[in-house]
Amino acid sequence: MLTGIVIDAQDTAGMERFWRDATRGRTGGLRLRFEPVTEPKTAHKNRLHLDLAGGPGWEAEVARLLALGATRADIGQGGVPWDVLADPEGNEFCVLRPGHPGVLADSGLVAVCLDVAEEDLRAQSAFWQTRAGWQPADSGDWGVRLRRTPTSTVSLVLGPPAAPKTARNRLRPEVTRHDRAPGEFLDAGGNEFHVVR
């Protein structure tokens, strides 16, 4: 079962505080765990990022996040109906505007988004359905959305484009399994994920 996200951080206390405030403590049952590292994030876009619901006052929500220490980020997104920001250590995340099809909550964490190449989408979807224990909610040209239940406010979105894999991912899914030894493993696309008991 997908139960959390592991985030590499140089300042674990500062990042934990930022994300607790950014999500207002509403993470849809997913635990955010911060693992200490010494190296900073590279310039490459992360393969996994988080989406937050901006709610009806999404402009004020973006301003609130910037005041918490986020910065605006340009990953080549162009004119899209969401705002791309980065946390204090440079990890990209999106603030979704009302009407976005993935939003079932007014605020907090709404999606964990994993880059998957179009040709790998079927294999990755099957892999994550098995590991996460979540089922397909919808799909399209953009990819596949998995949810724990049809009414879960948090989803796992798999889809293109896939950023090049240049190093260990700074954000990684965490899966609780009682039938497998804890450790770090690779998914079908070479992305790290953690297994805990």
Domain positions in the chain are 2-196
Q: What does the pLDDT average to over 109-121?
A: 94
What distances in angstroms separate CA 161 from CA 45, 143, 157, 166, 175, one per listed residue? 11, 9, 12, 15, 24
What pLDDT does residue 39 have? 95
What pLDDT does residue 108 have? 87
Say yes or no: domain 2-196 is CATH 3.40.50.2020: no
Q: What does the pLDDT average to over 9-29?
A: 96
What mean pLDDT, rounded, does the chain reach? 93
Q: What does the pLDDT average to over 175-195?
A: 94
Task: Give the global pTM.
Answer: 0.94
pLDDT band at 75 (very low <50, low <70, confident <90, very high): confident
Helix, strand, coil share of the chain (percent; to 5): 20, 35, 45
